[in-house]
Structures are given as structure tokens and as C-alpha cells.
Amino acid sequence: MSSSWPKLLLLAVVACLHVDLIDAAITSFHSQVAVSLASNGTSFVASTEEIPGDLLLADKKTTKKKVKKNFSSSEMVVEDLVMCSQAPNSVYDGEIDVLLLFSKCIGGSTLATVETWARDMKKIVDDTVDAYAGVTLNFKASMVSGACTHGEQEVTVDDLDRVATHPGLGDVHVIDSVLASTDSFTAVLSFATDATSYNEIVSFENVNQLGNVVNFQLSGSSENCEGGPDSCIELKQDDDIFMYNPFTVTQSLDCADLENGVPVTLVGDDGTRQCYCGCPAGFEMQTKGRDKACVKVNNSASICVWSKVSGYKHQVNSPSSVCSFDHVVDKWGIPLPLPTSGYGSNKLLLLSDASLDPRVRVAAIKIQNPEYYAGFLSPILGSDTSSWPLKFSDVVARAANAAKFDPMIPGGGDLPVHDAAKTWKDYQSNRADAVNSIVFKDYGKYRLEMDAYDYYSSATCTGCLVILDKFRPRAISHCPTSFCDFGANCCTAELTADNAAKANDLVQQYFGYGDQAENDGCSGNNRCDLHQFSKKNFFESKYTKYSHDEAISCFDQDVILGEILSHKKITVNPLKQPDKSCNDAIAPVPSGQCTRCCTMSTALREFWTDYRCGSDYDARYCEGDSDQTCTFEQCLVVNGDTLATTTARIKPSIVAESEKVLQKLHEEDAQTVTQVHRALECTSYYGNGGVCDYMAKLSELVETTQSLNFEGDFKVNNYVYWRFKVNGDSEKWQLWKTRRQTSAETGCNWATCEAVYDDDPVLTFSDPETKISIEAWTQCGLVRRFFFYVHLHVNSAVDVCKHFDTMWYQTSVSRLPIAAQMCAYPGSDFAELTFDFHPNLGLQYSRTELQMKVTEVLCSGALENRTAVGILKVSKDSPEIVTRFGVELLHTPNTEALTNFDVSCDFKYVGYGNVIHIKTCNRSFSIADCKGPQFDVPNAKCEYDKCAGKDKAGLYEACGGNIVKSSKTSTYVESREKECCQGCDDMKVVCSSLLDVPNTNNELMRCEPESNSGAYRSFFPVTFLADATQKHPIVTVMVIGCVLAAAVALVVIRREGAVSSTQIESDLYSPLLS
């Protein structure tokens, strides 16, 4: 047991010699000392004597007199020395309780060895610490269960009594009572014999969160120390416990009575350790009032050429693509420090026994101070950065809210960028190279350091260099220019596929303006361009701001078409009013409301930091050159005809009908592209002679088509709407074809069914010309406007009766119209009457009216109120009629002075579409025997005696042609040729032509005496007729000179006896043409 003492005493001495001149004297539990000894297998050599504890304690006097010689007067000067003081604080004050925790299976001899060790620990602590410190080391003991060879594992009372037989181990406690007071224990020292006890001990320490523990493992169970000394310490023999002292006693001295002073220990003349206070290097003793203090003195030797407060600044204004700055001495004029040494800088050599290597070291360190946004600092500090404080705490002093500012770039640790050393000789021979070799790879604030080392000391020259970015990004591509369809200095174009692609390309060019801008190589990705993007979307009247990133797709064709065609307003009928009437405005939708406008601008900018030497913060700016901006504005408008295409044309069936009508007209400028021509039954507009108007739906006249100009699954009927009006601007617009009716509504289920629409009324046309205006509209405006015209054509007017009188005349007298009375043919009992009809008589022709044609003439005649008889019927298109009648004087039952003859003719006209118009014309004639009585006419007696009252025709009676006769009650026509009665033997009576015309069908015949010369036959009747017309008191026929001339001419013609039919026709038509 005694052999362990030297070891223990030496360990205690080592512990006591641990003196810290700054901290106070403390007594602490030092488990790591024990751990270190165990791991290194430390053994000790016995010492011959103990070191007395009072040697470690300083004299408690505050001051002491010191005598020294004054160099200037050689007098002895007595000064007061300030003595060292001991710090009053210690880690543990008062009782220090340590729990000894044993395994149930520990042997009695081991308990005795531990008891001896515990007594030694208490004695060492008591001998080492100050008697007045009040520190006492106490032990307490407890026991845990273990896997013993014999008996139970649990701890019994007998086990605790066995521990209590060793009073040096302290008071013995049951483990449960120990658990309730673990906070009072400074440390735990455990002794395990097996795995069970070891686990119990570790569990106890963990549960109670005990930090100061040393676990000893007794010989025979080393498997529990597999974790090394950190888990437990194996004791090969019980006596090994004396190698370990887990307690450390530290004596701390300070200079509480001398400001900035440091303890200086020495052994006095009397052999005792003493401690005085002195000033450290760089300080000198000065008196402050009654007390002394160590005051720092300026050392001019530390000032160097780099010691400028504002440091050095270099601004980079070029767009170099390589971020590298070197040769700062040659290029930027950075000065060079010149270190010197008392050894002589050219003689310093590396010595093996020196503590420092003589050398000159040059280093550059990047300083990362917090960088705050200048926009936050300027309102507080002003725009003049030269007056800004260097300490951010001063900024906070000006504005307390600055403390809440978050730096854009937080402060960080220093980053070395260069560190190289040269010998004194190399540096002195090529000083510039040492600094020129520094390569700066970034803008920033750099601390320049030059350390000059001799054998045992060093000096440092420190400077500051800031490298500032003064080059701003510049564009290398052009800012795009907007375009338009018409005019200059505008930005609106129609939204076509080509224009959308062009606008989209310009947007990409705009983005290229910023993306392709050049910058210097050190700026990296530090752009902070000012972007603005506003959009005026379809159906919007003002711009709205959007994210600038969205500008890239502003004119993407798929996007823009999708937005316009899917807009909720685009399918609303712009023509339909809330009351379901038609919008009558000229422009029912605002012009240009389907316009997409995008305006975007970019100002090239970047972040840069205004680094300042000496400042503990820096200001970060976002700036750019004022001329590096690009603004692009473009509008694309969807007009009505941009969105859709419509057509309107007259239906082919209507065109065919119009062409038929035009075939009956003489209008050279008429056409069927925009004109509908229709024939009316009547002969005058707004009349009542048949149907005088035309009725039809507009959809029956005009067919339309409509289609979207853009691809997509969209129904065009949801976008295009129609309206119309008639008769120009005087009428209001009407909705047209707003919805096609379903088959259920129309009752027609066939594919060939005609479409039936809502808002498609039946229109009535009665004017000669009606203008129809049709417009197709979308929400984006007018698609197209169409004009159609409905032309109504009446049948040409018929005024045949106006010319009816002129159709009747007596060829045997003249071709002039006759008056109401006329004479019988001289010597005969009948009057010759000619009906001359030309088909154009009474027709009024116009370029816009349909031609009428006569197809039948039906005439009847009546003598003296007798029933009428048909005297003429011609059924032929546009007939030429010249017919002669012989109208016999009344003689049944009696003769009368005047024979009245009434004529009525029905003229049947057929118009367009076989419309029949019948005109009935009437005229009355009075016939008299204008010759008068005569006496002794040759052969009169024989003729009377043999022929009077006979069936055969008597002398000068009608024997052929159309002879109108009468009975008592009726009128009849006799057209057969009769035989002449031969009453006189010396005179032959023959049936002779009255007018000698070539066509006997148009001739009247009478019985006349046969004459070879013909002079009598020809001249006699005319002479008597002329004479009769002048002298007969009843007949009032007006005869003028032209009549006589005609009569003479007639005589001449008859005498010539050879007249062509062409001449006769010409003569007969002359009255009609006069």
C-alpha cells in the first residue's frame, strides 16, 4: 500500500502546478486526467520530498516598496509595487460530495483499498487548497446489484453493512434514497465487477444525467471496457487505483489593483514565491488619480504605407470577359511596404535554434461585410456616401428601424485569396513581384497583409483595397420597333397569322435585347433589370400590369387565338338589344374592342456594391446606364372580317327567274348578281289590275355562308350575326336569321328541307325598286356589308281603245277616220267599212316594263238594236288585220233613213306569265243613202221587173265578201258569193270587185254591168259618191281637199289597173303612221 504514495504525491503536485494567471482559483473534478492516464498507461517515479502547499500561495499584501537607481541623478528611488491578488471565485464552494457506487459482488479487500485511496484524496485536497477557502471533499457510498458467484443479485442490508465497516468511504445509503438526491453530488466514482453491475451503474448515471463520472472495472471482467477509457477504466490490480486522481486544484492569480496589469512571479531573496503586477508589452505604467494603470502606447513602428484609413480604390470600367485582376502595383499604382529588421534584412538566415523563420509573408484576404440595399440607407444617411458613418451601429443610432434591415448579402468569414512568403533577400530584390502576383478573382473588399518575421519576433503591415464594378450592362442587339398596317408612327396591325408571327418574333427580339446584353466577366448573374409589362386584353379599355415573364407569350398565335375565341363576350350577339329588338346604331360595337395590346420595357441594370475601407457594412445598388433601355409596344386587332368571312348571293333559283324576266325587257344595264327582277300582273304600280306586289322572305331570295378565318373546333354561328333593312336609311335595321329552327319546330325531318329561321319575316315589295341592305357583324366589328335590289316590272300599259276609232274607215271614200255618219256605196244598199288593226296600236313600251302582245281579236256588230253577231275573230299572236265589211241598209221590215251599226271588239292581250288582259272597245256608225233618187236610169225597168225581190243579187247589190245584214230581230253576216240577176237582155250583170284588190278574201263584190272599157264602171260610183257627200242634206261627212285628192288618186290607180300589193299595204298603213 505504501508503494503507491510517491505516485499519488507527484500527481497532486502536477495538479497544483497548473496555474492560470487569468482565471480565479478553482477546485474542480477532472475526470479527463484519470482517463488520459489510463489510456496512456502512465507510471510514476517516486519523488524524494513533497512540495509544501504554501509555496503556491501569493503574499496577501497589496503593495510593496521597490528601490531602484535613477539613471539621471544616480539616486536611489523607492517605488510602490502592486502585488498580485487571488481571484475570489471558484467552481465548487463549501462541501464537495462524491458518490462511491460499488457492485454487490465487490470483495472486502478491494473495499479496504478504495477506503485508503479515498482518505488520501481528502488529505491531498485539504493540504493543497487554502485553509480559508472553505472547500471540503466528502465521500458517500451506495451499492448496486451484481451477478455474484454465490447468493442473490439484489443488494441486501448485510451488503450495505459490509460497506459501512469502512468509514473512510463515507455514509452508506440505499440506492433508492440516493436517487432522490442526485443533484447534490458533484461526481460519481463507480466500481463494477460484472456486466450486471456495470449496466446498473451506467443506467443509474444516464437516468440521473450525471456528467462527472469515472467508472472503474475491477480485474476479471474487462469485456465491459471495450469502449476504451471513455467508457470505463480497467484496474488490473486493486492498487492501480492509486494511479488516478480525478481532482484538480487550480490557483489563479490576477491584478485586480492594476488596470490592464499582468502577474509577474518570482522567488524572493528569502526563497519564498512572490507575485507582482506589471504592464504587458505595448503598455506603460501611468498614474490615474490616486491609482496606477497600464495604458497602451502608440507604436510608430507599426504604421506602414498601406495604413490609409480609406484604403485604396480601383474602379473597373471595361467589359473584360475574364474576371482576373493582377499586377496591381504596375497597373493600379498600389504602393509597396518596406520592412526592416535590426538583424539586417539581407543577413537574416534560417537558424535551427530560432523559434521563427525569418521571412516576409504577403497575404490578401477577402472581407465579407453585410451588404445592405442602398435604397434603404439613402433616405436615412443622404445621397452623399462620403459622409456616411463607418459603423452600422451609428446608422442604427440615427434610425432605430435600421436594426431591422436584412442585408442583401450577409456578413461572412474572411476568405484568403493569396498567401505566399519570400526570404528577406528575395523580397528586397523584387518587392513588386510579391504584390503583383496576387490575383483577385472578384469585386470586393480585400485586406492586404504583409508580415515580416525575424528570428524571434514579427511585424505586420495591414492595408485595404476595394475593387468596384463601374461597368454596366450594355445592349448589343437592337430594340424592336412596332409595326402597323397603314400609316406611320403607329403600333396597331390586323391579327393575321403572318402579323401574329411577326409580332411574336419582335417579342423574342425584345427579350434578346436583355438576354444578349454584354457585361464584364466579374458581374456574373447579378442582373437586376427593371422590367415592366402591361397588357390591354380583348374587350378591355385600359392596361393592366402583369408579370414580365408573361410578356414572352403575349403574341403567341395559339395563346392569343385561344383567348379571343374563348372569351365569354365574343359569342354574345352584338345586334340584339335587351328587349330583343335590333340595335339600330350604325356601329353596334365599339371600334377596335377586339384589340390585344402589349407594352413592355427593360432597363438594363445590375447589382454592384460600393465597398468602403474601414466600414463594417457596405451599400449595394441596382443601377444601369440611362441610355440602355428598350420599350416595345404592339397592338393586334381582330376586326370583323379578320375573325370571319361571309358571303351573300342571290339564290340560283331566284337568278333563273330574274333572267326570264329580263328576257322580256330591253334594259341593257340590268343584271342578276345584285338585282332580283320580278314581274307583276298589273300594268301599273300600286294598281288593282291583278297582283301588284311581291312577297318573299329574305332567306328565300338571298343565301349566305359564313366561316371562321382561324382553325379550331368552334361553331361559326356563335360568332357571326346578321341584320337587314329595306328602302335605304329611312327604315330601321331588323334582326335576321338569329336561330335556325329545329326539325321539331318546322315539322320537316328531311335533309332537303328548306331552313327556317327566327327573325326571318315575309317582306312585301311594291315599289319599282327596293334596296335591301344586309350586314354581318361580330363582336369584333363588321364582317361585310351587302346590297341587293328588288326590281318589280309591270306589264306595258294597253290603250287600244284610244285608237279604236282610227281602225275603222271607208276605203272606197278615203283612208281617213270617218265621222259618226257615213254614206252607202253609191247606187248600192250597203256601206263599205274597213277594219284596219296593227298589233302595236295602244301598247306603251318602256325599258322597265314587260311587253304585252295581242293574241286574239274578237269583234261583233249589231244593226239597229238587233242581237249582235260575231263579225271578226282572229286568234294569233300579234296579228295584222285588214278586213272589209259591207253593212247593208235596213229594209226589213222597213227601210229607215239612217241605219245604225254598233261595233264592239275584245282585244285579248297576254302579259309575262300568261297573264291575260282583255280590252273591249265600242263604236257606233250611222249609214245613209247619200245618192238620192234618180229618174230614167238606163235598164232600170227591166232590172226591177225581173230581179226585184229575187234571191239573186240585183244590179249594184252586194254579191260577195263579208256582208252584215239584219232580220227583224238579229244581225247576221253573209259571206258567200251570190249570183247576179240578169234582168235586161242587152246588159250582162257580173259580180265585180268593188276595190280591185289582189286578195279576194279582203274584197267586197257587187253586181255591175259588164263593161269592156271599165271607164263607166270605175268612174261612176266615185263621181256619185263625191257628189252625194257634198249634196245630201242628212250626211254631214266632212270632206276636205285631201279627200278629193285621195279620190282622184283612187281613180287614177283604178285606171292604171296594175297596182302591187306592197303599194297597197303601204297606202293602208299610212293613216296609222300619220
For the cut 90, the answer to whether the pLDDT of residue 938 exceeds it is no
Domain segments of the chain: what residues? 2-67+75-253, 255-297, 301-370+407-469, 492-554+572-638, 645-793, 800-1073
For the cut 70, the answer to whether the pLDDT of residue 725 exceeds it is yes
CATH of domain 301-370+407-469: 2.60.40
All residues at 6 or more sequence positions from 780 whose CB lies less than 8 Å from its CB, including other chains:
564, 570, 589, 593, 594, 638, 639, 640, 642, 643
Q: Indicate the pLDDT class of residue 598, thresholds 50, 70 and 90.
A: very high
For the cut 60, the answer to whether the pLDDT of residue 1052 exceeds it is no
**pLDDT reported for residue 65:** 53
For the cut 90, the answer to whether the pLDDT of residue 933 exceeds it is no
Q: What percent of the chain has pLDDT over 90?
A: 48
**pLDDT reported for residue 258:** 87
For the cut 80, the answer to whether the pLDDT of residue 633 exceeds it is yes
- The C-alpha atoms of residue 6 and residue 47 are separated, in whole angstroms, by 6
For residues 184 and 202, which has the higher predicted lDDT (pLDDT)?
202
User: Average of pLDDT values for 708-737?
Assistant: 90
CA dihedral 189, 195, 200, 203 (to 10 degrees): 90
Peptide bond into 52 cis (omega under 30): no
**pLDDT reported for residue 60:** 40
**pLDDT reported for residue 975:** 86
List the grid coordinates of 297. 502606447
For the cut 50, the answer to whether the pLDDT of residue 829 exceeds it is yes
Cell numbers 398596317 correspond to 485
Residue in 442, 466, 462, 469 with CA at minimum distance from that of residue 612: 466
All residues at 6 or more sequence positions from 65 whose CB lies less than 8 Å from its CB, including other chains:
78, 79, 80, 81
At CA 580, angle to CA 578 and CA 586, rounded to 5?
Answer: 85
Task: Indicate left, alpha or beta for 675 from its phi (over 0: left) and psi (-120 to 50: alpha).
Answer: beta
For residues 38 and 552, which has the higher predicted lDDT (pLDDT)?
552
User: Average of pLDDT values for 682-696?
Assistant: 87
- The C-alpha atoms of residue 766 and residue 794 are separated, in whole angstroms, by 11
Q: Exposed e or buried b for every residue in 65-78, given b needs 16+ CB within 10 A?
A: eeeeeeeeeeeeee
Cell numbers 518575421 correspond to 453
Cell numbers 487571488 correspond to 86
**pLDDT reported for residue 1038:** 36
**pLDDT reported for residue 85:** 78
**pLDDT reported for residue 12:** 33
| The CATH number fitting domain 645-793, selected from 1.10.10, 2.40.50, 1.10.3470, 2.60.40 | 2.60.40
* Minimum mean pLDDT range among 246-260, 340-354, 582-596: 340-354
- The C-alpha atoms of residue 138 and residue 1003 are separated, in whole angstroms, by 182
Q: Are strands 675-679 and 781-793 parallel, antiparallel or unpaired?
A: parallel
For the cut 70, the answer to whether the pLDDT of residue 723 exceeds it is yes
Q: Are strands 881-888 and 830-837 parallel, antiparallel or unpaired?
A: antiparallel
Tell me the per-residue pLDDT of 953-996, one tens digit each, with 9 for 90 and over: 888 899 999 999 999 999 999 988 889 999 888 889 999 988 88
Q: Indicate the pLDDT class of residue 353, thresholds 50, 70 and 90.
A: very low
Residue in 537, 493, 587 with CA at minimum distance from that of residue 777: 587
Q: Indicate the pLDDT class of residue 38, thresholds 50, 70 and 90.
A: very low
Contact 1027, 1019 (CB under 8 A): no
For residues 546 and 1000, which has the higher predicted lDDT (pLDDT)?
546
List the grid coordinates of 688. 288593282
Contact 332, 435 (CB under 8 A): no
Q: Indicate the pLDDT class of residue 87, thresholds 50, 70 and 90.
A: low
Residue in 498, 502, 492 with CA at minimum distance from that of residue 596: 492
For the cut 70, the answer to whether the pLDDT of residue 43 exceeds it is no
Q: Mean pLDDT over all residues of the chain?
A: 81
Strand partners, 795: 850
At 422, give phi and psi (nearest 5°). Answer: -130, 155
- The C-alpha atoms of residue 1072 and residue 807 are separated, in whole angstroms, by 8
- The C-alpha atoms of residue 509 and residue 478 are separated, in whole angstroms, by 8
Q: Indicate the pLDDT class of residue 225, thresholds 50, 70 and 90.
A: low
H helical segments located in 17-102: 31-40
**pLDDT reported for residue 514:** 95
HEC secondary structure over 605-628: CEEEEECCCCCCCEEEEEECCCCC
**pLDDT reported for residue 218:** 86
For residues 219 and 447, which has the higher predicted lDDT (pLDDT)?
447
* Minimum mean pLDDT range among 573-587, 609-623, 727-741, 900-914: 727-741
User: Average of pLDDT values for 361-376?
Assistant: 96
Strand partners, 249: 27
**pLDDT reported for residue 942:** 85
Q: What percent of the chain has pLDDT over 70?
A: 80
Tell me the per-residue pLDDT of 887-905, one tens digit each, with 9 for 90 and over: 999 888 888 888 999 999 9
User: Average of pLDDT values for 14-35?
Assistant: 37
Tell me the per-residue pLDDT of 230-260, one tens digit each, with 9 for 90 and over: 568 888 888 888 888 877 666 667 888 888 8
Tell me the per-residue pLDDT of 89-132, one tens digit each, with 9 for 90 and over: 544 456 788 999 999 999 889 999 999 999 998 888 777 766 65
The DSSP string of 679-725 is E-SSSSTT-SSS---EEEEHHHHEEEEEEESS-SS--GGGT-EEEEE
Q: DSSP letter for 1034, please.
A: S
For the cut 60, the answer to whether the pLDDT of residue 354 exceeds it is no
* Minimum mean pLDDT range among 482-491, 687-696, 742-751, 1023-1032: 1023-1032
Q: Indicate the pLDDT class of residue 377, thresholds 50, 70 and 90.
A: very high
Strand partners, 82: 63
All residues at 6 or more sequence positions from 1044 whose CB lies less than 8 Å from its CB, including other chains:
1026
All residues at 6 or more sequence positions from 850 whose CB lies less than 8 Å from its CB, including other chains:
661, 664, 665, 679, 793, 794, 795, 796, 911, 912
**pLDDT reported for residue 528:** 95
Which of 98-107, 347-356, 1051-1060 ranks highest by mean pLDDT? 98-107
Q: How far is CA 597 from the centre of its chain?
A: 9
- The C-alpha atoms of residue 362 and residue 417 are separated, in whole angstroms, by 11
Cell numbers 496589469 correspond to 261
**pLDDT reported for residue 246:** 79
Mapped onto helix, strand or coil, the DSSP state of residue 157 is helix
For the cut 80, the answer to whether the pLDDT of residue 755 exceeds it is yes
Strand partners, 371: 409, 618
For the cut 80, the answer to whether the pLDDT of residue 1059 exceeds it is no
Which of 180-194, 302-316, 399-413, 841-855 ranks highest by mean pLDDT? 399-413
Q: Are strands 971-974 and 916-928 parallel, antiparallel or unpaired?
A: unpaired
List the grid coordinates of 334. 498600389
- Examine domains 301-370+407-469 and 645-793 and report if their fold is the same: yes
**pLDDT reported for residue 18:** 33
**pLDDT reported for residue 190:** 92
- The C-alpha atoms of residue 421 and residue 348 are separated, in whole angstroms, by 14
**pLDDT reported for residue 911:** 86
Q: Indicate the pLDDT class of residue 299, thresholds 50, 70 and 90.
A: low
Tell me the per-residue pLDDT of 541-550, one tens digit each, with 9 for 90 and over: 999 999 999 9
The DSSP string of 487-538 is SSS--EEE--HHHHHHHHHHHHHHHHHHHT-B--TTT-S-B--EEEEEEE-T
Tell me the per-residue pLDDT of 266-285, one tens digit each, with 9 for 90 and over: 777 787 778 888 888 778 88
Tell me the per-residue pLDDT of 697-706, one tens digit each, with 9 for 90 and over: 999 999 999 9
H helical segments located in 238-391: 328-332, 374-381
